């Protein structure tokens, strides 16, 4: 296994104020590739994801928290107390990046805005992930994944107009914005190498969800037309005798003819109702009813084999458990084992693999003493901070 010095971000220090998902998934990527992530948490409570799962047997180190916080070290500080601010300033002196996902203006009110941090360290990069942006009518609003789905138009987009509105159950906005924030940070690091100066970078859940719809937005802006890939007449999910599959009838010269061949149906493309794309759109309900009736007569594996023989794009609809147990997941080494249990690894693949789990997800405040010692604090000073209630040390240490 590679040493820490061989990791791409070795030597980069990050002060991480983030909570829940947008920020933690961003800083976890940085930590996975060698950055030293110092997680700033509230005494007694910590990151909100620590209490996301009620009555979990591991308490503040539940699986949701652990999924977002490996390769990080935790220090619990009461930032309402002035000495705690001095601790942050001391950490910033040797840091490269400060990341937060508070509401707009919160870091400034706490005394940690970019202008203040630059006075301490001109090379600092301040990275901000918000719900809707730093300015504008929604900038004051608390950011949350479901709200971004709704306000960005993503939630209103359905394969069938008659389908009820629903919340997508996976945190799309949080994850995409977190990955956009990683990109912004890496670009700022590259630019700092050229200029010697840090800068402020930001992303929002709202903008990230809009960006995810770049193709659809371009069609609406330029052609005043809705583009809905899921609503195409030869695309859909189809139930079988023992499950379901998804079919994408695209990227072929005669997809309907090939689908009919796979399903052993008469060539429906010869029917004028289905002879062109426009005709299929108008008669989609009739067309898909015929396909559904046919798929219902066989098993998923049987129909997948028939479709693949015609080189059609298709796949079984799996549960998450089935996906985690899939041979392709094993071949990709997607699951990694940590001392605290199994986690998803990294989706990135590099010939010089820089991914490594160096630290298990931390107990709340478990690394406070070590972090302060590295910053030059004496045992007496650390003891004083603990006595004053500024530093909460070694909470939930057994889980660290």
Active-site positions read: 174
Side-chain half-sphere CA neighbours of 306 within 13 A: 18
State the Cα–Cα distance between residues 79 and 43, nearest whole angstrom.
10
- Residue 94, Cβ neighbours under 10 Å: how many? 13
State the Cα–Cα distance between residues 131 and 184, nearest whole angstrom.
16
DSSP 8-class letter at 197? -
Q: Which structure tokens are listed for 174?
A: 């949080």
State the Cα–Cα distance between residues 243 and 20, nearest whole angstrom.
34
State the Cα–Cα distance between residues 117 and 15, nearest whole angstrom.
12
Q: Which residues are CB-neighbours of 165 under 8 A, at least 6 positions away?
A: 155, 156, 158
Angle at 280 between CA 278 and CA 283, to 5 degrees: 115
Closest CA to 38 of 2, 92, 82, 81: 92
Q: Which structure tokens are listed for 94?
A: 């040797």
Angle at 111 between CA 96 and CA 201, to 5 degrees: 45
Angle at 14 between CA 13 and CA 20, to 5 degrees: 155
Mutual angle of helices 205-212 and 214-223, in 10-degree steps? 70
Q: Are the CB atoms for 20 and 174 separated by under 8 Å?
A: yes
- Residue 288, Cβ neighbours under 10 Å: how many? 18
Classify burial at 290, counting beta carbons within 10 Å of its beta carbon; exposed 0-12, middle 13-18, buried 19 or more. Answer: middle
Cα–Cα separations (whole angstroms), residue 227 to 139, 208, 214:
29, 19, 11
DSSP 8-class letter at 143? P
């Amino acid at each position: 296994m590679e040493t820490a010095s061989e990791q791409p971000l070795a030597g980069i220090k990050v002060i991480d104020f983030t909570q829940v998902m947008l920020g933690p998934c961003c800083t976890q990527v940085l930590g996975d590739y060698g950055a030293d992530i110092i997680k700033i948490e509230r005494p007694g409570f910590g990151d909100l994801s620590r209490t996301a799962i009620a009555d979990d047997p591991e308490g503040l180190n539940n699986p949701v928290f652990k999924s977002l916080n490996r390769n990080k070290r935790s220090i619990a500080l009461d930032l309402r107390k002035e000495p705690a601010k001095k601790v942050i300033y001391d950490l910033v002196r040797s840091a490269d990046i400060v990341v937060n996902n508070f509401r707009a203006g919160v870091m400034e009110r706490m005394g940690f805005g970019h202008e203040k941090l630059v006075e301490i360290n001109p090379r600092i990069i301040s990275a901000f992930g918000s719900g809707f942006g730093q300015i504008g009518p929604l900038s004051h609003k608390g950011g949350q994944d479901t709200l971004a789905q709704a306000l960005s138009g993503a939630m209103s987009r359905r394969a069938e107009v008659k389908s009820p509105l629903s919340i997508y159950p996976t945190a799309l906005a949080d994850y995409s914005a977190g990955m956009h924030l990683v990109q912004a940070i890496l670009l700022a690091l590259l630019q700092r190498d050229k200029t010697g100066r840090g800068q402020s970078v930001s992303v929002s859940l709202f903008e990230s969800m809009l960006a995810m719809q770049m193709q659809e937005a371009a069609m609406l802006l330029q052609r005043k037309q809705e583009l809905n890939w899921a609503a195409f007449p030869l695309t859909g999910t189809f139930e079988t005798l023992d499950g379901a599959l998804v079919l994408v009838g695209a990227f072929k010269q005669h997809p309907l003819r090939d689908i009919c061949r796979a399903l052993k149906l008469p060539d429906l493309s010869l029917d004028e109702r289905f002879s062109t794309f426009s005709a299929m759109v108008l008669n989609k309900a009739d067309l898909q009813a015929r396909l559904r009736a046919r798929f219902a007569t066989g098993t998923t594996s049987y129909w997948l084999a028939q479709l693949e023989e015609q080189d059609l794009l298709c796949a079984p609809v799996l549960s998450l458990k089935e996906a985690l147990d899939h041979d392709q997941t094993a071949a990709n080494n997607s699951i990694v084992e940590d001392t605290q249990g199994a986690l998803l690894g990294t989706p990135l693949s590099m010939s010089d693999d820089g991914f490594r789990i160096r630290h298990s997800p931390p107990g709340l405040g478990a690394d406070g003493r070590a972090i302060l010692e590295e910053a030059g604090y004496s045992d007496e000073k650390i003891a004083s901070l603990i006595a004053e209630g500024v530093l909460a040390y070694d909470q939930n240490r057994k889980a660290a």
